[in-house]
A and B are shown apart, each in its own frame.
Chain A
Amino acid sequence: MKDFRIDHESRGPVQLIRLVGSLDMYSFPRLESQLNALFQQGRYSLVLDCRDLDYIGSAGLGALIGFAKQAREHNGDLRLLNVPERIYKIIELLGFTKVLQVHQTEDDAVGSFQAK
């Protein structure tokens, strides 16, 4: 069982955030405070790399939706990258992929902001 971890680096104006472990109601406040800190710095273009994400619950999904909404209000967005198949099937079934953009490669995800 992996401990939840958040790694962050910049790709030009885009913030690449790598999530490791499980994003549930216990761990999501940590992501929330990290994203709030980025928003306070005016960084609204976010890519969340989910390749090492084991699980996401509704608290995590709801938070992502809320942050994507705030980011869009500032001409940015929150987009997902490398979503594991098991998680993708669940979020697709629930309809979250209709609201959140999902990308397969880092170039595609980061480039999608420049293409705007």
Chain B
Amino acid sequence: MELPENIHRKESADKLLIQTPGHGSYLAYIRAIVGDLARKVGFDEGEVAKIEMAVDEACSNVVRHAYSPDKEWCWQQRDPEIRLDIRIEGSRLIIEINDHGQRFDFANYRPARMEDHLREMKPGGYGIPIMRNFMDEVQYSSNDQTGNTLRMVKYLKKP
């Protein structure tokens, strides 16, 4: 797959670094790169689809919320960027998604249960429940130096 010039990709045996502009038009490339890697390390097609979706939800949230034009990142005079740091450690695929946009109070965010949302046919609020459903670990951290990082882990084989 040919990547646009402003997607930077650095790969070694067990590590992949991707940097893209923080814009929705790059999401399809991110999904494709992450899906290829997950396939390569041995996840079956069903698990690959889940990993792609979890990463897409995380990056969509960065574009939509962290880099929302009405948030304070605009004042920092920096172009919005998404950085994905993906590595294999033993039987774990670790995906860290970093941005320098508006932080999010992930720990105190209590999304409604998916079943309730679906029963009421709500049009939104599915992203974080999907990440939590499809990945084995999901953690969010934020600090002024390194920005916001969402860390997701998927086990190739359950420990």
Q: Does B56 contact A (CB under 8 A)?
A: yes
Whether B13 sits at the interface, judged by CB under 8 Å, is no
Chain B 73-116, CB-CB to A under 8 Å as 1, else 0, gives 00000000000000000000000000000000000000000110
Question: Which residues of chain B from 101 to 159 have any CB-CB distance to chain A below 8 Å in the complex?
Answer: 114-115, 118-119, 121-127, 130, 133
Contact A55 B31 (CB under 8 A): yes
Given the interface pairs A24-B56, A57-B57, A69-B121, the reply to whether A89 lies near B27 with Cβ below 8 Å is no
Within the complex, what minimum Cβ distance (angstroms) separates A24 from chain B? 5
Q: How far is the CA of A110 from the CA of B125 in the complex (A)?
A: 30
Instruction: Identify the closest chain B residue to A29 (Cβ).
Output: B24
Distance of B96 from chain A, by nearest CB (Å): 20
- State A24–B29 Cα separation when bound (angstroms): 12
Which of under 10, 10 to 19, 20 to 34, or 35 or more describes the interface residues of B? 20 to 34
Minimum CB distance partner of A1 in chain B: B28
Neighbour of A24 across the interface among B45, B60, B133, CB < 8 A = B60
Number of A-B contacts (CB under 8 A): 79
- Main SS at interface, chain B: helix
Min Cβ gap A59→B in Å is 6
**A44-70 near B? 1/0 per residue, CB < 8 Å:** 000000000001011101110110110
Query: Would you call the interface of chain A mostly helix, strand, loop, or mixed?
Result: helix
**Interface size class for chain A?**
20 to 34
The interface residues of chain A lying within 8 Å CB-to-CB of B29 are 1
B124 touches A94 (CB 8 A): no
Taking the closest CB of chain A, its distance from the CB of B128, in whole angstroms, is 9
Hey, which chain B residues are within 8 Å of A25, CB to CB?
24, 27, 60, 63-64
Given contacts A1-B32, A90-B50, contact A62 B122 (CB under 8 A): yes
Contacts of A65 in B (CB 8 A): 118, 121-123
Known contacts being A55-B52, A86-B45, A95-B115, is A62 close to B63, with CB within 8 Å? no
A92 to chain B, nearest CB (A): 11
**A57 in contact with B56 (CB, 8 Å):** yes
Contact between chains at B49 and A90 (CB < 8 Å): yes
